[in-house]
Amino acid sequence: MEWRPGLRAWRGRLLSGAVGVRAPGAAVHAASSIRQRKVVIDRELRRNPAELSRILVHEVFHFAWVRLSNEIRRSWGTLLQAEMARRARGELGWSAEWRKRWLVARGGSAPGRRWSEYACESFCDTAAWAYAGAGEHAEFTLAARWSEARRAWFATLEARHPAGLRI
């Protein structure tokens, strides 16, 4: 794990710099590099333990996502497609929310890179919601019935794999 100030994502790269300096890219809290086995977190999160916990759990679950079987990832995708078919609005984190909005604006859940990114981010955001103990948060906009269905999906996964996910 590495701490850096002023994290921004720009053109597929993670940038860091002095806080308050106008620079390219969108501000981000953290990023994971699966290949490098590294998580980079914005230094400012040290001041907010609850938010740090939520963000860190999200990032750790990126490592879990890549180790899931295709069958399990398809099962998660099926859950998300059912939500979209029933016009479920909202998400359990901004990283999934903006990707979902992009997909919905373009007609739904067609397979492809954008869908895969959304599925991954919603998985990680849901894990953070379920396991970080964040309580209420402005980014938790998914209705309770859909959130609880996701919690049940995670419970089923845990029951089927009692040894847990090896991250």
Q: Are residues 110 and 153 both part of a single domain? A: yes
Give residue-wise pLDDT tens across range 25-60: 888 888 888 889 999 999 999 999 999 999 999 999
Residue 35: which domain range? 1-47
CA 157 to chain CA centroid, Å, is 17
Sign, CA dihedral 77-78-84-87, equals: negative
Q: How many domains, the chain? A: 2
Task: Name which residue leads in pLDDT, 161 or 69.
Answer: 69
Average pLDDT over residues 136-153: 95
Q: Are residues 10 and 92 both part of a single domain? A: no
Q: Are residues 29 and 71 both part of a single domain? A: no
Q: Are residues 35 and 116 both part of a single domain? A: no
Q: Are residues 58 and 23 both part of a single domain? A: no
Q: Are residues 158 and 79 both part of a single domain? A: yes
Residue 84 pLDDT class (50, 70, 90 cuts): very high
The reported pLDDT for the residue numbered 20 is 61
The Cα–Cα gap between 19 and 8 comes to 10
The reported pLDDT for the residue numbered 78 is 95
Q: Are residues 20 and 68 both part of a single domain? A: no
